[in-house]
Amino acid sequence: MSRSTQYVGLNHHALNLVKDAFKREEYEMTTGMFEEPVSGTIYHVLPPPGPNKALKYVEVVQTTPWSSGPMIFTHLKAVLTKECGQEIETGECCSWILDPSLEDTSEVDYVTGRYYV
């Protein structure tokens, strides 16, 4: 088995949250085990009603367990920009859940957002 960086990315819940993004930007999120760039995405979505100017979800690394190389699991960090220009980080969402019950089945379940590596 060869060693390599395994980008797992976002789970189904995260992808569903950003499916209607009107703009997507790629950026260098991290590097892999051989210093190769690993891209993440910034998703621009419509902000909630009120004195809000913009809302973006930034794909960030959640965890990198090892399985013949690092497995890069990502989740979303929300950033709300108010009309006055203030940026508010509203936290991380749509995170993967470590679930030992997957031990004898699959390492990753994209639909439920569970993993066990």
Nearest alpha carbon to residue 62 among 25, 19, 108, 22 = 108
Predicted confidence (pLDDT) per residue in 64-88, tens digit: 998 888 999 999 999 999 999 999 9
**In-domain check, residue 69:** yes
Predicted confidence (pLDDT) per residue in 34-52, tens digit: 999 999 999 999 999 999 9
How far is the C-alpha of 42 from the C-alpha of 5, rounded, in Å?
Answer: 21
Domain that holds residue 36: 6-115
Q: Two tokens at 7?
A: 């980008």
**In-domain check, residue 111:** yes
**In-domain check, residue 102:** yes
Distances (CA, A) of 27 to 19, 30, 55, 57, 83: 18, 9, 17, 13, 25
**In-domain check, residue 31:** yes
Q: Is the CB of residue 45 less than 8 Å from the CB of residue 24?
A: no
**In-domain check, residue 46:** yes
| 100 three-class SS | helix
**In-domain check, residue 10:** yes
pTM over 0.85: yes
**In-domain check, residue 1:** no
Report the number of distinct structural domains present in the chain. Answer: 1
Mean pLDDT rounded to a whole number for the chain:
94
